[in-house]
Structure formats: C-alpha cells, structure tokens
Copies of this chain bind each other. A is one copy, B any other.
Amino acid sequence: MELEENIEEKIEEFIKEKKYTELKALLKEMKSADISAILDDLNKEEAVIVFRLLSKEKAGMTFSYMETDMREKLIQNLTDSELKSVLDELFMDDTVDLIEEMPSNVVTRILRTVNRNDRKIINELLKYPDDSAGSVMTTEFIDLRENMTIEQALDRIRKIGTDSETIYTCYVLDKDRILKGIIDIKDILLAKEDSLIHDLMETNIISVNTLEDQEEVAKAFDKYDLYALPVVDNENRLVGIITVDDAMDVLQEEVDEDFNKMAAISPTEDGYFETSVFKHAKSRIVWLLVLMLSSAITGAIITNYENAFAAVPVLVAFIPMIMGTGGNCGSQSSTLIIRGLATDELELKDVFKILWKEIRVAVIVGVILALVNGLRIFIQYDSLQLAVTIGLSITVTIIMAKSIGCLLPLLAKKLKLDPAIMAAPLISTIVDILSILIFFQIATLIMGL
C-alpha cells in the first residue's frame, strides 16, 4: 500500500540524467494520485517535464489531484493547446473548482480555452454558493427516457458513456428534463433487451436541491450507502449529480472543520504547509484573545477570595486540579454531544435524556475521583477538613462541568449555530469560572474562612 520512498528519488534521477524514455515507462505504471503527490514536491521545471510525459488522459487525472499552487505554476508553463487538452479531460466539477482557486489572469486564460458550450455551463455552476450541492455537482451524467427499451438505453450509454462521470446510475428524464426515475446499470444489464426503462426504473428517489448544504449531502451518502446523488432545481429538473468520491472529500473537509473549531482555530481553506505563518497566526489568535480575556474573570474571582488563601495558602495548590478536572470532564461531554449531533446520532429532542445520562455519569465519576483524591489528601496533609473540601468540590465541579458540556452544544444547535464552537476551549473557560466559585465557596463554608 505504501508508496515506495525511492520512487521519488528515481524520478528526480531520471530527470537529471534526461532518461525520458525510462521516466515515461515508470510513470505509465503509476497511479495518477501518486504522480500528483510527487509533482507537488518537485520544482516547476521538473514538474513540467514530468507532466508533459503523461498520456492525455493521465495528465487530466493527475491534474485533478494536484495542490492549488502547483496547478497554477503548471498552467503558466503550458501552451494553449496543452492547457486545452488538460481541460478536455477534466469533469465539469473539477474545472469549476480550478477556476474558483486560480487568480484572475489564469481564469481568463482557462475561459478563453474551453469551448463556448462548456463556458456557458461553467458560468452557471460558478453561481452556486460555496458549500452548496450545486457547487460540488458535475453536469456529466447519463440521461435516459422512460419509453426507451433496454436495447436503446444501452445504445445511449455506449454513445455518451465516455464523457459521463459515472455510468453506474442512469437518470430517467422527461422532455422538460424533470427527473422521473433512476436505474442502476446492474438492472439494465440483467434485464431483457425489449423491457421498457419505465417498468424497471426506481421512482422513489433520494435527490437534493442545488442549494442544499454539502454537509447534509455527505450525510445522505453515508446514511443511504449511495454511489451517486441527483441534484435538482426548484422545478425538480435534473441539473447535475454528485458522486461518492466527492461526497467523501466533503465529509473529510467537514471533519477537518470540526476538529479546527473544537481546538479554537478559525477554519482555513488550505493545507498546513500551504497556509502562511501569518494566516496560521490569524486563524488562531481570535479565540485565544477571547479566552484569555475571559480568564480574567476567573482571576477576578480568585482575587475576591484573597483572604481565604491568605489564611490557608495550600488551597492555591488545588486550583489547577479543580480547574483541570472540570475542563476535562466538560470537554468529554461536549465532544460526545458535538460528534453525536454531527453524525445525526443525537437530536435536539433528546436533551433531557442526555442531561440525565450525563448527570448520572458525573455522579459516578465524581464520587470515585473525590474518594481517590480525598484519601490522598488525608494521608498527605492529615486534614479531614481539607480532604472533604477538595472531594466535595471535585464532585460538584464534575456534575456542573458535564451538565454544561452537554447543554451548551445542544443550545448552539437550537440557536442554529454550529455546535462545534461549544467545544473544549470555550467550555473550559466557562467551567473554569464556575469551578473556582464552587471551590472557594465550599472551602469558605467547610473551613470557616
């Protein structure tokens, strides 16, 4: 499975020694995804040499896997006819992705190169909002008619199949291009030649509107085990399809986004190395500032109890433990709830069931941690008062932390915000404030400060 490390060295060697015949033979044996990974690591001149040695079809495939900056460099070094042959091989959704990420001078060149009909389709596709079904769909699919026989359908598939992104599922349209049914290639192949498409097609169709959020689209693939999903406009006319490989990319993008939000990082579009140091700093500083200033509240509360820790200085030593345990418990609950909401396993209506479950878990966890810690403190400091103070504070903090950890993501969902913003960093900061209050309040009461 692993790509051999030395293939990259071999390619660089062939380039250096101008062994182009050997290089071409090697490239022929390689997968486009692997070639693109290597191209991304080469310098511009080397990349152009390698790219020119690829067959027309493979060049297109390889191009569709490449990173933005290398694509741009490559395009600027290709002749118009080379560019045209790459664009011919790309499916519409890939061409549109390319246009969206290129600077305007490259876009002009691309639009000048494609034919008039494609240019019209591209301009239509560019109008769909980011992250909508319309923006990830492709317009190349097999369309059939209800009154076709299997034989006629097979003829049509053979005629337009080469240019379609998939022939696995075919779409049955009426004269107004309204989607009437879908039929799997398996059902076409297994049927008698004179059967009618109308009698074999599935009419209970899962489809999405062009404006549907791409995250919902990806979830539908996962839920219904789909290979392709038709995209229709408001009049139920079929305008495109989304294939499972694109849905998988969307799923990965959304997971990346959730991971970032949960670590208090604003979403970035590009990969780790392609994002500049300044962009990285920018995407991380906003939340850090907010959280840092919020922690001043915790600080102010502590100042309020100055007399308490002046009398019993050892209390200060337990601040990290109380705050840390509270933060960890809160982030455990919030992570489970955020992920459950993201995969549709949990729903808003389950709020009381979830809260009740979290409280019971919190009581068990809280009592055990309190006992372990209380015992340690009793042995170490020989003070029952201190042991009870810490034990009780931990239990109450954990119940509070788990309740907040599960409620805030649900509240965000209710307010139609992304639950992922209510993740570890924000929860920790809120839990910090409350746990310090709980801790000093309990200490003041029990130790009579």
Contact = CB atoms under 8 A, between A and B. Distances in A.
Contact of A167 (B186, B310, B325, B343): B186
A425 B368 CA distance: 19
B331 A318 contact: no
The interface residues of chain A, by DSSP majority, are classed as helix
B321 A320 contact: no
Contacts of A332: 263-265, 284, 288
Listed residue (A161, A223, A292) with the most chain B CB atoms within 10 angstroms of its CB: A292
Nearest to A271: B345
B339 A256 contact: yes
Nearest to A208: B1
In the assembly, how many copies of this chain are there? Answer: 2
A281 B365 contact: yes
Contact of A220 (B1, B222, B273, B331): B1
A128 interface: no
A321 to B, nearest CB: 4
B324 A292 contact: yes
Interface in A376-399: 376, 394
* Size class of the A contact interface (CB-based, 8 Å): 35 or more
A113 interface: no
A336 B265 contact: yes
A158 B327 CA distance: 60
A287 interface: yes
Given A1-B208, A264-B328, A324-B428, A309 B298 contact: no
Interface string A156-195: 0110011000011000000000000000011001100000
A152 to B, nearest CB: 14
Interface stretch (A17-25, A119-127, A300-308): A300-308
B31 A206 contact: yes
A345 to B, nearest CB: 6
B346 A321 contact: no
B361 A281 contact: yes
A369 B189 contact: no
Contact of A291 (B208, B298, B324): B324
Given A265-B335, A291-B324, 4 more contacts: A244-B245, A265-B336, A288-B325, A298-B321
